[in-house]
Amino acid sequence: MSEMKITILCCHYTNQATAEDFAGIPAKIEVKRYPCSGKIEVADILRALEDDAEGVLVAGCEKSSCHNRSGSQRAEKRTAAAQKILEEIGMEPERVQMAFVPRLETGVLVEATKRLFETLLDLKSKEGTSS
Amino acid sequence: MIIAERKPISRILAMIEPYERVAVLGCRGCVAICSAGGDREVEIVSAALRLARKRAGRPLTVVEETLVRQCDPEYLTGLEELAKKVDAVVSLACGVGVNFIADRFPELRIYPGVDTSFYGANPALGEWEEKCRGCGDCILDFTGGLCPIARCAKNLLNGPCGGSQDGKCEIRPEVPCVWHQIYERLKARGELERMMKLFPAKDWRPAGHDGPRVRTREDLKVGN
Ligand code: SF4
Ligand code: SF4
C-alpha cells in the first residue's frame, strides 16, 4: 500500500515545524507555507487534493493573535468553502480541516495533523468495507 | 450589476460528462465583481472539475481563461482558437455572455457554469440585494426611489397589499414591505399625495413581454 499523503497549508508565523516533528505520523507530510493563512485560496486546497493529498490541513494563527488580524478567520471560511465543494463532488468534507495554532507551537500543529491522519485512516477503512 | 451564483459542481460535471478537454471561461465584468465568475472562480471551478474527474478515473484537461467581457464581440476574437483546443466550454459569465457566444459560435458547445439571478447592489462585502427588474418604464419618480416591481414579492403597483404587517412583507417576514417604506418616505417628505396616483395596468411590453428587447443609438452605429 502506498504511503498516505497529507498536505499542510499554513502561514509563516504559525510554525517552523520540520520533518522531524512529524516523524511520529506514518504518512508523507508536505508543508506549503504562505505569507499569511488569509492568502490560502479555495483553489489551493483543491489543488493539493488534486496532487494526490488524501487530506489537507489549513493552519493559521489563533483567532485572537493572528499576525495579520483576520487572516486565519478568512482561512477558516475558505476551508468551509472547500468542504462544500467536496460535498458537491461526493467527497468527504472532513478531508479538509482547519486548525488554529498558537504561534510557533509545533506540538499543537502536529496534534492537529495526527487527528486529520486518524480521520483519513477511518475514511479509508470505511471505503474498504463499503466496496 | 448582474448577479449570478456558481452552479453546483455536480451539475457542471453532468453537462461535460462526455468530454475530455474543456475550457472554463470567466468574465471580468459583473460576474467577477459579484465573485461568481472571475479569475478566482475559474481557478476554483477548474480545480474542482479536475479533482472530481481524476477520482472518477476519467481525467479531464481544463484550459483556464478569463475574458474582459463575454458580451462584447471585441473580446471574443480568441474564441475561435480556443474552440479548436477543447470539446466544450463552461462559461462563468451571466446568461448574456453564454447566449452571445452561442449566437456567434454555433459550432461551439457552451454550457452555463452559473445561474444568473438578478440586477443587484452590493451593500456590504459578501452580500447582494435585488433592486431593479429592468421593466423598461421606470416609475421610481412616484415611489421615492424604491422599486415596487423588484422589491415587492407581488410586484404590486398600487400597494401595500393587505398582508403588510409592522412594515414587513407577508411572503417573507424578514423582508421589509417596500410599499410600507415608500409610504413612510413620502409621508416624511410631505408628498403622500403621490400615493394617491392610481397606476393603471402596466404595459409590460417594455419589460420584455413583447419578445427580446433591443436598444439602438443611430449616432453610434458604423456605416448606414
Ligand atoms: S457577460 Fe454578463 S457578466 Fe460579463 S460583463 Fe457582460 S453582462 Fe456582465
Ligand atoms: S421601476 Fe422598472 S426600471 Fe425602475 S427600478 Fe423598478 S424595475 Fe427597474
> A62 — alpha (psi -120 to 50), left (phi > 0) or beta?
beta
**Can you give the pLDDT at residue B223?**
82
* Cross-chain Cβ contact B50/A50 below 8 Å: yes
Cell 400615493, residue located: B195
The model's pLDDT over B113-156, given as tens digits with 9 standing for 90+, comes to: 999 999 999 999 999 999 999 999 999 999 999 999 999 999 99
How much is the ipTM here? 0.91
Residue ID of nearest Cα to ligand 2 atom 8: B132
Q: For residues B201 and B135, give the distance between their C-alpha atoms in angstroms, rounded to a whole number.
A: 13
**Cβ of residue A46 closer than 8 Å to a chain B Cβ:** yes
- The one-letter amino acid code at A93 reads P
- Mutation probe of ligand 1 site: the residue of B94, B117, B122 with most atoms within 8 A of C-beta: B94
DSSP-derived 3-state class of residue B8? coil
- Give pLDDT, residue A15: 67
pLDDT at residue A130 in the model: 58
Q: Say if CB B163 and CB B172 are below 8 A apart.
A: no
Q: At A43, is the secondary structure helix, strand, or coil?
A: helix
- Alpha helix positions (H), chain B: 9-15, 30-33, 39-55, 79-85, 95-104, 148-151, 178-188
Which residue of chain B has the CA closest to A77? B126
- Written as one letter, the residue type at B93 is A
Choose the mutation target among B5, B9, B49 for the interface with A, i.e. most A CBs under 10 Å: B9
**Which of B9, B40, B54 is opposite residue A85, by nearest beta carbon?**
B9
The pLDDT assigned to B192 comes to: 93
Query: Residue A33 maps to which CATH number?
Result: 3.40.50.960
Q: What pLDDT does residue A1 have?
A: 53
| Residues in a beta bridge with A6 | A29, A55
Q: What is the pTM of this model?
A: 0.93
Residues B166-202: tens digit of each pLDDT: 999 999 999 999 999 999 999 999 999 988 888 999 9
pLDDT average, residue stretch A41-55: 98
Asked if residues A116 and A96 have their Cβ atoms less than 8 Å apart, the reply is no
- Average pLDDT value for chain B: 96
SS3 content of chain B, % helix, strand, coil (to 5): 35, 20, 45
**Per the structure, how many domains does chain A have?**
1
CB of B33 within 8 Å of a chain A CB? The answer is no
Q: Which residues of A touch B10 (CB under 8 A)?
A: 88-90
Q: At what angle do helices A71-88 and B39-55 cross, to 10 degrees?
A: 40
Per-residue pLDDT tens for B70-84? 999 999 999 999 999
- CA separation for the pair B23, B42 (Å, rounded): 10
- Reduced to 3 states, what is the DSSP secondary structure of residue A1? coil
Percent with pLDDT over 70 in chain B? 100
Query: Mean of the pLDDT values across residues B88-115?
Result: 98
> Domain span at residue A53?
5-130
What number does the ligand 2 atom closest to the CA of B139 have?
A: 1
| Cβ A17 vs Cβ A108: under 8 Å | no
**Side-chain-facing half-sphere of A1: CA atoms under 13 Å:** 9
Higher pLDDT, B198 or A99: A99
Q: What φ, ψ does residue B112 adopt, rounded to 5°?
A: -85, 125
Q: Given CB atoms, is B13 within the 8 Å cutoff of chain A?
A: yes
- Calculate the average pLDDT of chain A: 90
Start-to-end CA span in chain A (Å): 17
Looking at chain B, which runs of residues are DSSP E strands?
2-6, 21-27, 61-67, 88-91, 110-112, 114-124, 127-132
- The pLDDT value recorded for residue A18 is 82
Lowest-confidence region among A14-23, A103-112, B33-42, B187-196: A14-23
- How do residues A61-97 score in pLDDT, each as one tens digit? 888 777 667 888 999 999 999 999 999 999 999 999 9
The pLDDT confidence band at residue A127, using thresholds 50, 70 and 90, is: confident
**A90 shares contact with chain B (CB less than 8 Å):** yes
What does the domain layout of chain B look like in residue ranges?
A: 2-209
pLDDT band at A14 (very low <50, low <70, confident <90, very high): low
